[in-house]
Structure 1
């Protein structure tokens, strides 16, 4: 799961033999999604029944963070905050794994369950969005026997799982999220109905005829006013252009082989209405549903990808980091300081001269 930060653009060479754009530069829009590591805190075991999957048992880790517990409360501050306290006490009193309070449930899941899903939560504290409640998600584990799946998940209890462990560059993935909400809208905005003539009776932005006398009802095909936006959507085949590391691990995570400038993925002044991207991030081609700060779920593609677009290798030449508030001219603050002069420019020039002198030595 990731958070939408904003958009920028990149420059790259197209690698499509036979195309008119082969080996030529193109400018493409990309979306930056900040994806801090998720934490595995449990799993759910499902059994297959004639009426579909039914949950048989759930097993939770011995320690849960406060941001995870907050999701179980409507008002965490005014509550007694006793969720999982007895459960965690039993975990702490158990000396061995075989004596753990849920050892019997783990064996039960291995014996009867066909589907195993890991319970993971986001670390919203690492993303400076003012949120305190973690987003909890079930992620299905595929491959191998049920026993291997359970052992795999229990081995990851209370550990972080990074975005780079699940996805790779040039991979085609699916994204799931909620679109921007626009509230109650009329038929012209909602469905693109043509406006009526200027002298039309009782309004212009409406449907001229909503149907015949019989059948004596309005059919579902007729455009009507109502809620527009804030819809759950799944978009398939979004290509990953880059998976970047956090600032602490890679301060220059926006540099390329053709652009060796020391710069991070965050544009000058930060992403509008979002701020700084300090954690791991994923760069997707094109746009992503929803406004900034909205949670976006990333999913492995369900279909084998064999198209030319899917197998094309992406090598970025330039990533734009100019200000997204207005018409940005500069890629870094040092570049801006050199242009306008002042004390900052003098410091930058002095540092450059010192670096050149060391290189000569």
Structure 2
């Protein structure tokens, strides 16, 4: 940044780097998300510290210095068929009773003062309620870590190559139709995916648009399920809002034929087109 461009700024930052090499035992970098890539209301970036491991302290400082203000795409961190961990906050459910929150058994029909309750919350003595007794309270919006999610695909976003816009990031060796990972009509409550994406097996915590931290797995994997090579044969891109039948707009147009809205659009385009000059 401009702060370190002049002579005084360069001396100051060099002094800080030398102090780190001499006194520090742990080096961490501060990374942030690129909110401008997403069409969301939020502008403030998510910031986190990431520790650098391996090598001497001097090597860590030099590596961090070389990569200052650089982008780190998915492919530089994760790989196909790798097991990763997902960290995030679950969907919030609000204040809930014991039946919903702890799945306790409902009491019989004729129970006095309600049946979605815990019948006995403990003995007279010790004269306090144990923490092991199910009680009503907040359900959801909890911090959770889900381990061992297998990466099925690391996809490249919509990009330009040789002057052409490439959107074909959802086709496979067995499915030759060129299509984008965004289903028809977009992902419900999200929209279109135009940037790099990672496809994992299973579900992950939280609602749409909530930030999720992806982490390298902390365990050494030896099971067959963790070591197997994934060969995707088909990715369903039909509409996720209703009974989706078509994979691409071209498939829908071929099946449905020319629709009224298409005819109206063509007529409007023909009327607004400039007329050809008359020749004498």
Q: Tell me the TM-score normalised to structure 1 length.
A: 0.69
Match of residue 283, structure 1, among 190, 193, 199: 199
After TM superposition, give the deviation of residue 94 of structure 1 in Å. 3.2
CA distance in 2, matches of 1:323, 1:101: 56
Query: Computing the radius of gyration over CA atoms, which structure comes out larger, 1 or 2?
Result: 2
Is 1:131 the counterpart of 2:42? The answer is yes
Is 1:188 the counterpart of 2:99? The answer is yes
* Other-structure match for 1:330: 246
SS class of match (1:143): coil
Q: Which runs of 5+ in 1 are unaligned?
A: 1-61, 63-87, 346-361
CA distance in 2, matches of 1:213, 1:158: 62
Cα RMSD for the two superposed structures: 1.5
Higher strand proportion (structure 1 or 2): 1
After TM superposition, give the deviation of residue 303 of structure 1 in Å. 1.2
**Number of aligned residues:** 256
5 Å-filtered alignment, 1:337-356, equals 337-342=253-258
Is 1:310 the counterpart of 2:221? The answer is no
Taking structure 1 as reference, are residues 106 and 171 closer, same or farther at Cα in structure 2, changes over 3 Å only? same
Query: After TM superposition, what 4+ stretches of structure 1 lie above 2 angstroms from structure 2?
Result: none
* Other-structure match for 1:268: 184
Match of residue 213, structure 2, among 280, 287, 297: 297
* Other-structure match for 1:209: 120
CA distance in 2, matches of 1:197, 1:302: 47
SS class of match (1:283): strand
* Other-structure match for 1:254: 170
Q: Which runs of 5+ in 2 are unaligned?
A: 161-165, 264-280
Taking structure 1 as reference, are residues 336 and 137 closer, same or farther at Cα in structure 2, changes over 3 Å only? same
CA distance in 2, matches of 1:227, 1:269: 35
* Other-structure match for 1:94: 7
Q: Tell me the TM-score normalised to structure 2 length.
A: 0.88
Which of 1 and 2 has higher RCO (CA within 8 Å, sep 6+)? 1
Is 1:244 the counterpart of 2:155? The answer is yes
CA distance in 2, matches of 1:284, 1:172: 9
After TM superposition, give the deviation of residue 315 of structure 1 in Å. 0.6
